Chains A and B, each alone.
Chain A
Amino acid sequence: MPSRRRTLLKVIILGDSGVGKTSLMNQYVNKKFSNQYKATIGADFLTKEVQFEDRLFTLQIWDTAGQERFQSLGVAFYRGADCCVLVYDVNSMKSFDNLNNWREEFLIQASPSDPENFPFVVIGNKIDIDGGNSRVVSEKKARAWCASKGNIPYFETSAKEGINVEEAFQCIAKNALKSGEEEELYLPDTIDVGNSSQPRATGCEC
């Protein structure tokens, strides 16, 4: 336990399989990109220390598998997230259409205390492909959807070229931090011996 206060932020990355979630994470954390596609099994976890306004904090990034067969991991994975990143491929309409399902699934599973204001960030990835000629989801359309869901911040990135990735994660970190700032009230009771008898735990458990 650190004596100096540090903050740890749990960030969940969601989206259809193959949209580039793992690539984004690796571009951000390791500054690396591989053209080879390897499906994530279950989930990958990465950590990155970030400085923001003179404060150091740690991003604990949960890179989940996009395949439906891993959806059963739901509640466990989503619990206690500080920010959720929804990723789609600008070259795939289906991956964009599914953003709504991912968002709703997350809100159901994680059941955050204030779902209306839970910090999401949307990323449209793979803008480099074919010089943008194979693009099927327009920026306007994506921004409209984000606006309709409570002004979700929106970024267009290329994990391959490293375009906008740093900026997107800066925003993710900032929003995660903001949501974490509501202080918890930790107020334990004091024993009142007067009106409650304290039953002795019977013997040892051996």
Chain B
Amino acid sequence: MSEMSSSELDPEPPIRLHLPPLSPSLFDAEPSDLQQPNGSAARHSSDPSSSTSSGYAGERGSSTATTVSQVEEVLHNEIQEITIHDPQPLSHSSWLPGKRHGDEDDASISWRRRKKHFFVLSHSGKPIYSRYGDEHKLAGFSATLQAIISFVENGADHVKLVRAGKHQVVFLVKGPIYLVCICCTEEPYESLRGQLELIHGQIIVILTKSVNRCFEKNPKFDMTPLLGGTDIVFSSLIHSFSWNPATFLHAYTCLPLAYATRQAAGAILQDVADSGVLFAILMCRHKVISLVGAQKASLHPDDMLLLANFVMSSESFRTSEAFSPVCLPRYNALAFLYAYIHFFDDDTYLMLLTTSSDAFYHLKDCRISIETVLLKSNVLSEAQRSLVDGGMRVEDLPPLPYSGSSHLGQHRLTSDSPERLRESDCGIGGAAGLWHFIYRSIYLDQYISSEFSSPINTPKQQKRLYRAYQKLFASMHDKGLGPHKTQFRRDENYVLLCWVTQDFELYAAFDPLADKALAIKTCNRVCQWVKDVENEIFLLGASPFSW
């Protein structure tokens, strides 16, 4: 069990405080109850096994052998610490969809050096999915994982986490489906378990939970044929764990649009919802333009994430209009809905969800009338423009004392403004060394993330920042120690400031040399700014979540 390294803890750890405005003096109290949680849920810490190797492990040929009792050794010795970087680092631009390194198995050195593995297997130990390598070649490894899980369950207990050096092995049992993550990314246990939950949710989106019945009737059941061709959906979801904050915030984000534009889209969606469509969702990439739900129907942000991932990662949806069974796990995990999916252009797509399996032609008609309105009111071109223009930029943060209505991008400080001059020595980025922020509105279930700008401009740096936010999120929401109100931490990479109120959560990253008082002041400005432009960055009013 490793504590978070002390260098990562700010000498002035977070404290509790009560509601706005955020003031520097509130950070000065000395907290006593805040230690960074580690994997407190761990049942098992992995002592190096003293058991002798057995069988013919030394003689393995083309096949592979693994021994249950050697598992700890395997974790210690075989999955070695990563020293070699992935030759294809993940990034938005270079990320290749679909299974990579499918020729690897657990005997490959390259496979053992991957930083983050995900496995799905059945309760009989049959492999279902592996992020890297060939599932069938990994059958022995899969059996080992099942043996570990079952061995612990035999003792009427559950294994949640095994730590082995820098590696964490996180287990999640979902009925007959077992999910395992093995990684050395130092992400919190809660985050990794959340990622396994999402992978399971993605399986449910594709197959519904009634797949469990097949296992009940026949433990030998092999579900891989049912998931045929969906590799790309899972690899895309796993990739999003490192760039999409929705995966840990449990909130969705909107495409910034003029209020009237979003209203026009919402109005036409409402029309079709009234004609028997359960949910009508208009999205641009992973951002919502507008969405409407039939009365009493509510859509969970996680369902939206998984649905959007399913639609965006499956190439076939782009080529023609499609009608596909989908399941929304948070809405009803046991049954299918039917989704009519149509891409208006490369980025913007419409999803109409219904309970009726023969609604295709009706939904097609709905789409045609929606498309007409969207074209007439320039929604599609506005969406494209918003994609190009981007959303909130830290450089545009307006000074605090100002009044009047505000629009995105209209408060760009001129270079000769005294404020700008004063703050220019705080490094690149926005005021007071502000580099980036995420604001999550609690009652809207929505978040807004600022655009990345210098110096956070490579995918690698962005991933690192998201991981830092994720850690911050987990520590703020730790059930044992939290919930907390504020947190201020400084390390060699950033100053991170988190502020949680009943209405919102703010996560902000500053230059590591940023002044604390100024950073706190800047957070207040960010909150005010978000409030000023909320009708452009959020979907207001018609939120189906509040019904």
Asked if A pairs with B, the answer is yes
B213 CB to nearest chain A CB (Å): 8
**Interface assignment of A198: CB less than 8 Å from any CB of chain B:** yes
Check A73–B151 contact: CB distance below 8 A.
Answer: yes
Tell me if B228 and A8 are in contact (CB < 8 A). no
**Complex A-B: 15 CB contacts under 8 Å:** A8-B139, A10-B143, A26-B56, A32-B59, A41-B69, A42-B67, A43-B147, A76-B147, A80-B126, A179-B220, A188-B325, A189-B210, A198-B298, A200-B298, A201-B330
* Closest 10 pairs (CB-CB, A-B): A80-B124, A76-B150, A204-B250, A42-B68, A80-B219, A45-B140, A41-B69, A60-B139, A188-B208, A45-B143
Residue on A nearest B330 in the bound complex, by CB: A201
Contact A3 B228 (CB under 8 A): yes
- A160 vs chain B, min Cβ distance (A): 14
User: For residue B331, which residues in chain A have a CB less than 8 angstroms away from its CB?
Assistant: 191, 198
Q: How large is the interface on B (under 10, 10 to 19, 20 to 34, 35 or more residues)?
A: 35 or more
Q: Tell me if B124 and A188 are in contact (CB < 8 A).
A: no
A113 to B216, CA, bound (A): 10
A26 to B56, CA, bound (A): 7
Q: Is the CB of A26 within 8 A of B59?
A: yes
Interface of B (DSSP majority class): mixed
Which chain A positions have C-beta within 8 A of B140?
45-47, 60
Q: What is the bound-complex CA distance between A81 and B63, given in angstroms?
A: 20
Q: Using a CB–CB distance below 8 Å, which chain B residues touch chain A?
A: 51-52, 54-57, 59-61, 63-70, 122-129, 135-137, 139-144, 146-147, 149-151, 153-154, 207-208, 210-211, 214, 217-222, 224-231, 234, 250-251, 278, 294, 296-298, 300-302, 325, 327, 330-332, 334-338, 355, 357, 445, 473, 477, 545
- Count contacts on A: residues with CB < 8 A to the other chain: 63
Which of B137, B229, B334, B336 is within 8 Å of A1, CB to CB? Answer: B229
Besides A187-B210, A189-B210, 8 more A-B contacts (Cβ < 8 Å) are A22-B56, A41-B52, A44-B55, A47-B136, A81-B220, A189-B334, A198-B331, A205-B250
Q: Which residues of A are found within 8 Å of B51, using beta-carbon distances?
A: 41
Q: Is B221 a contact partner of A38 (Cβ separation < 8 A)?
A: no
Which A15-50 residues have a C-beta within 8 angstroms of B? 22, 26, 29-32, 34, 38-49
Whether the pair A58, B139 counts as a contact (CB closer than 8 A) is yes
Q: Give the total number of A-B pairs whose CB atoms are below 8 A apart.
A: 220
Whether B54 contacts A200 by the Cβ 8 Å rule is: no
**CB contact between A190 and one of B122, B125, B335 (< 8 Å): that residue:** B335
Interface residues of A in 59-98 (CB under 8 A from B): 60, 62-63, 72-77, 79-82
What is the interface of chain A, defined by CB distance below 8 A to chain B? 1-3, 5-8, 10, 22, 26, 29-32, 34, 38-49, 58, 60, 62-63, 72-77, 79-82, 110, 113, 179-180, 182, 184-193, 197-198, 200-201, 204-206
Residue of B59, B63, B208, B301 touching A34 (CB-CB under 8 A): B59
Give bound CA distance, A206 to B146, whole Å.
29
Q: How far is the CA of A3 from the CA of B330 in the complex (A)?
A: 28
Query: CA of A161 to CA of B432 in the docked complex: distance in angstroms?
Result: 78
